[in-house]
Structure 1
């Protein structure tokens, strides 16, 4: 029997907080701040469902899912610092609640706990060493994608193409969001992950990130970050790239002048102008359709394979969750 999502979330959340317990209450509060805010734990849920669909035991799946959520949380702490973000999950970011060096150190601590949890799983015979190799790939690829994102943001690049965006997002977000959970599910069951997991998973993961960019501009209480935060941070989203491709020279110049300013110097009226132009240009609607297209292509490649996995009920739940991932219903 496949446990319901709410039950799985609760199990992952309890393990996550337990892994971050510490005798120093102030330090523990720092480590547990982001995990305590909840979140949908999508990567953890995907990992559990993928593992069960492949026939892996639940206990090992929950351990790896917890490690995935440790990864997600320490990356968010670092990402918020690097982007000077103001909000995370509806509350001030960690580096705004505490001095930045303390927040940065908390992110490092969660990173260490991730590896410690995985190593314990190997020692106890719950995990094969190949799982550690997959987590190394997750960290390696995410770091490179973040490098590109930061590099392009800091340099104020206006000549990026949709292909550049796709390459960056495949590394920064898509791999760990969709590819890694699928591959980990197979590895936890002692199976070799097929190549189509990366091919289809990247499309689904990119579609998820495009929708994240769309929601950032549309604003939504459930989204958990400030509306138009990507514009204040100067992020090279697919929406912005599409707009610039059709913008007039005057609009490009005005956009570039705004994006090159540091966050705190960006005039609110100029951010609103760009936000309104993005909506009026049709770039937002175009990006939404691109996400839909990528989702359908990823599903068409992946789902026939999933239907042949050992645990049909879990495989169906995994398919549902992957669709909800992009449609933001999970």
Structure 2
């Protein structure tokens, strides 16, 4: 995230205390925000605010910055909980918070950052901002519930439509739909109805690209462990497409491994599955699907922004969304 947003986030958090335990708590609260990240959601929010006529440095810009900081806080507390729920090893190139400090302390830090998120929303004072955050959290939790339920129940009798419903709930709303809407709200503009279908398509493209990168991305650029989705038993468009046509023995090995908890999976078998997926046509199929979703979403977004007050900012926003939905790292 941009330095001014990081400074704003850190300024909200409690300062050092005389007690060593609370000094530790203060450092844990700052850990994930300080690890960086691209800040794509907060940047999209600010780009939307500029597109809708809000100038940096104006009185309303302060509200946009607080909403952007709140979005970064949302991202960080959700990631802490997500890493625990998925039993992840790494986040942004370092051990996940619960790997460093244990599950109970990490949960508590995530809960605390959740509260500071609402403080940032309150400081923004943007009409409709709280309602947008509430809707975003509801949808994200629903998508996460689908994801976790399928993992917990070892459910693989799923369709591509099931996957797309999950990612539109879990990823698209907080990655694209709500940042676009919050930017308009910060500028005092009612969000265009086309932001939702555009954001759902672009968010799906973003997540499918992420699924591809999890299989074959550069670990230094990706920020998470390559192949982690297989260890965590994630349902992806790639896997569901491959599973529908996989040779019998490969399918048997896959389902047997996916019936195990992460710690019990056979590294050699997972490496074989990883290779089978990369050698299949399913990665290309997923990329083609992501490209189609990106084109659809960008077309709708371009229509929605055709009459926006700042067309230079609109072009920058569309370029930003194009890069996000077609990213290779």
TM-score relative to the length of structure 2: 0.94
Give the distance between the partners of 1:242 and 1:267, measured in 2 at CA.
Answer: 23
Note if 1:42 corresponds to 2:6. Answer: no
Note if 1:270 corresponds to 2:263. Answer: no
Is this contact kept in 1: 2:205–2:326, CA < 8 A?
no
Give the distance between the partners of 1:273 and 1:289, measured in 2 at CA.
Answer: 24
SS in 2 for 1:22: coil
SS in 2 for 1:84: coil
Structure 2 equivalent of residue 110 of structure 1: 113
SS in 2 for 1:157: coil
Q: Give per-residue Cα distances to partners, 1:247-287, cap 9 Å, x unaligned.
A: 13332222111011111111110101110111111111111
Unaligned runs of 5+ in 2: 18-22, 55-59
Alignment equivalent of 1:120, drawn from 94, 105, 123: 123
Give the distance between the partners of 2:268 and 2:296, measured in 1 at CA.
Answer: 39
User: Displacement of 1:246 after TM fit?
Assistant: 0.8
Give the distance between the partners of 1:328 and 1:30, measured in 2 at CA.
Answer: 31
Give the distance between the partners of 1:329 and 1:261, measured in 2 at CA.
Answer: 31
RMSD: 1.3
Distance change (3 Å), C-alpha of 1:160 and 1:329 = closer
Give the distance between the partners of 2:292 and 2:168, measured in 1 at CA.
Answer: 16
Give the distance between the partners of 2:75 and 2:31, measured in 1 at CA.
Answer: 13
Q: Give per-residue Cα distances to partners, 1:191-247, cap 9 Å, x unaligned.
A: 221221000110001100000000000031111001100000000111110111111
Give the distance between the partners of 1:60 and 1:204, measured in 2 at CA.
Answer: 26
Is this contact kept in 1: 2:61–2:186, CA < 8 A?
no
User: Displacement of 1:20 after TM fit?
Assistant: 2.1
Structure 2 equivalent of residue 228 of structure 1: 227
User: Displacement of 1:329 after TM fit?
Assistant: 6.8
Q: Give per-residue Cα distances to partners, 1:46-78, cap 9 Å, x unaligned.
A: 000101111233221111010000000000000
Give the distance between the partners of 1:252 and 1:211, measured in 2 at CA.
Answer: 24
Give the distance between the partners of 2:202 and 2:213, measured in 1 at CA.
Answer: 17
Unaligned runs of 5+ in 1: 1-7
Give the distance between the partners of 2:167 and 2:24, measured in 1 at CA.
Answer: 35
Distance change (3 Å), C-alpha of 1:329 and 1:214 = closer
TM-score relative to the length of structure 1: 0.93
Alignment equivalent of 2:3, drawn from 10, 25, 46: 10
User: Displacement of 1:289 after TM fit?
Assistant: 1.1
Q: Give per-residue Cα distances to partners, 1:165-214, cap 9 Å, x unaligned.
A: 00000000111000001111111122221221000110001100000000
Alignment equivalent of 2:167, drawn from 150, 166, 169: 169
Give the distance between the partners of 1:248 and 1:41, measured in 2 at CA.
Answer: 41
Give the distance between the partners of 1:210 and 1:291, measured in 2 at CA.
Answer: 6
Aligned pair count reads 318
SS in 1 for 2:38: coil
Question: Structure 1 stretch 260-269 or stretch 311-320: which is displaced more?
Answer: 311-320
Structure 1 equivalent of residue 57 of structure 2: none
User: Displacement of 1:81 after TM fit?
Assistant: 0.2
Is this contact kept in 1: 2:48–2:179, CA < 8 A?
yes
**After the TM superposition, which parts of structure 1 deviate over 4 Å for at least 4 consecutive aligned residues?**
none
| Residue correspondence of structure 1 range 240-255 to structure 2 within 5 A | 240-255=239-254
SS in 1 for 2:157: coil
Is this contact kept in 1: 2:66–2:123, CA < 8 A?
no
Is this contact kept in 1: 2:209–2:328, CA < 8 A?
no
Q: Give per-residue Cα distances to partners, 1:98-135, cap 9 Å, x unaligned.
A: 0210001000001000011112222xxxx11x110000
Alignment equivalent of 2:182, drawn from 176, 181, 184: 184
SS in 1 for 2:209: helix
Alignment equivalent of 1:217, drawn from 215, 218, 224: 215
Give the distance between the partners of 1:327 and 1:175, measured in 2 at CA.
Answer: 18
